[in-house]
Amino acid sequence: MEMTEAGLAAIIDHTLLAPGAVKADFERLCSEAVSFGFHSVCVNSSRVELVSGILRGTGVLVCSVAGFPLGASAGKRLEAAAAVDAGAGEIDMVIDIGALREGDHRKVEDEIRGVVEASLGRPVKVILEACLLADDEKKLACRLSESAGASFVKTSTGFSTGGATVHDVGLMREAVGGRLGVKASGGISTLDAALEMVAAGADRLGLSRSVGIMLEMRSRAAGGVVQPPAGGSGPDSA
């Protein structure tokens, strides 16, 4: 598999979810996203209106989160609706991890479906927080996400005990086939790690170190194509 600089940029959600980030940080985030041609910026819902205004007319989407980072809140549908109202083009929601683990599958599916409905046709990515789940639970979460109408499943928030791994990306890709997208996020800090995730089946990457990765690619390939590394297991933590 070959990857061009533009091709990599086009699958990156350029992410800033730090609670202490200020307006200047988001202005820089948006400037970087436009400069590199990233797919979107991903921010907390309270910042959607700000970044939507900055990015208007640029072609870069705004991705917002719901129930982030714990997945234990009751108002994800309302948060998603408010984010869409403020200009979000995509929603990344965290599942109710405890409900999944205790077997309340209907609650998990109904909550995802509620966020999908509130998002009014915008893609919804369901964050599994894979580091907290057994493989069978990850597969189940993928099935529930698909049944509820989600567009993607996503590995991690980057705020828990681990991030994206090649194993989890491959498992999730196998579970959803070509029917849903797979987003790898959390702890992806190098170009090789990013390319390993793509090779394992990710078609979207959530990165906070996007600029460094793109500069690494530019330096290595001078605008040409870069082959993913052979083997490797990717980072394990955020």
Nearest to 42 by CA among 23, 21, 63, 22: 63
List, in sequence order, every beta strand (DSSP E) within the chain: 3-4, 12-16, 40-43, 61-66, 90-94, 124-127, 152-154, 181-185, 204-207, 225-226
Q: Are 154 and 185 in contact (CB under 8 A)?
A: yes
Catalytic residue among 13, 92, 96, 168: 92
Nearest to 122 by CA among 91, 78, 156: 91
> Is residue 92 annotated as part of the catalytic site, yes or no?
yes
Catalytic residue among 76, 125, 138, 154: 154
Catalytic residue among 76, 125, 138, 183: 183
Q: Which residues contact 41 (CB under 8 A, 6 or more apart)?
A: 13, 14, 15, 16, 26, 29, 30, 33, 51, 55, 60, 61, 62, 63
Q: Are 183 and 125 in contact (CB under 8 A)?
A: yes
In the numeric block, the tokens 């009751």 are attached to: 74
**Crossing angle of the two packed helices 23-36 and 48-55, in degrees rounded to 10:** 40
> Is residue 23 annotated as part of the catalytic site, yes or no?
no
Nearest to 128 by CA among 94, 151, 161: 94
Amino acid identity of residue 64, one-letter, is S
Q: Give the residue numbers marked as catalytic.
A: 92, 154, 183
